Amino acid sequence: MTSLETIFEGWESADLEAACNTQDPNDGNTALHKAAIAEKPDMVTQILTAGGDPCIRNHQLQTPYAATPHSDTRIAFRMFQGQFPDKYNYSKAHIPGPVTPELLELEKEKKAQQKRAKRQREKEKQIEKIKTNQFLLMTDAEKVKAAEKRCFLCGSGLPKRPFEYERYTFCSIRCLQNHRNLRPLHMSA
Ligand SMILES: [Zn+2]
């Protein structure tokens, strides 16, 4: 951050835009790179306003936008593009497109929805696991009478057409065969 502050002190001097676009000889980073990497969205907006060119690449050939994975910082670039669509060559700056506060709200809602769906799937998985374990703990006689029939070997839910022999049901031919192979051992034990 020290070097960023140093550059900002330079703003007081003659040419603000030139100061913004001066590249650090060590890594090629401009003030905009440094603000992006430091995850300072407000600073990114200030530098863009002052004329900091988002197209300049550092020694790793990264534009300031590409130099940060930080989502709020990336949004600052896209908000700026939404406000000033003609100020810079945004595609050259690798900025994926403008965003407005309304769009941002929609994106957030979409992400929250995906999160909720994921949580729901995980919950269902957890319930399925418990059901499987409960089924596997039953005796064969209990399994036959169980309200929800499952695979006698692995406890998975059954497909539409389960695999069967005698009174046993299975999720797959593999489970059926394994059960058959294991059975003599169970019997003699
Ligand atoms: Zn099975």
Q: Could you state, in chain order, the average pLDDT of each consecutive group of 10 residues for the chain (189 residues)?
A: 57 71 95 96 95 96 97 95 96 94 88 96 96 94 92 95 94 95 64
pLDDT of residue 19: 84
Q: How far is the CA of 144 from the centre of ligand 1 (A)?
A: 15
Q: Per DSSP, what are the bridge partners of residue 163?
A: 170
pLDDT of residue 189: 41
Strand boundaries in 118-185, DSSP class E: 163-165, 168-170
Q: How far is the CA of 143 from the centre of ligand 1 (A)?
A: 13
Q: How far is the CA of 189 from the centre of ligand 1 (A)?
A: 22
Domains and CATH numbers, the chain: 2-99 (1.25.40.20), 122-188 (no CATH)
Query: pLDDT tens digits, residue range 79-132?
Result: 999 999 999 999 999 999 999 888 889 988 999 999 999 999 999 999 999 999
pLDDT of residue 185: 60
Burial bucket for residue 104 (CB in 10 Å: 0-12, 13-18, 19+):
middle
What's the whole-model pTM score? 0.55
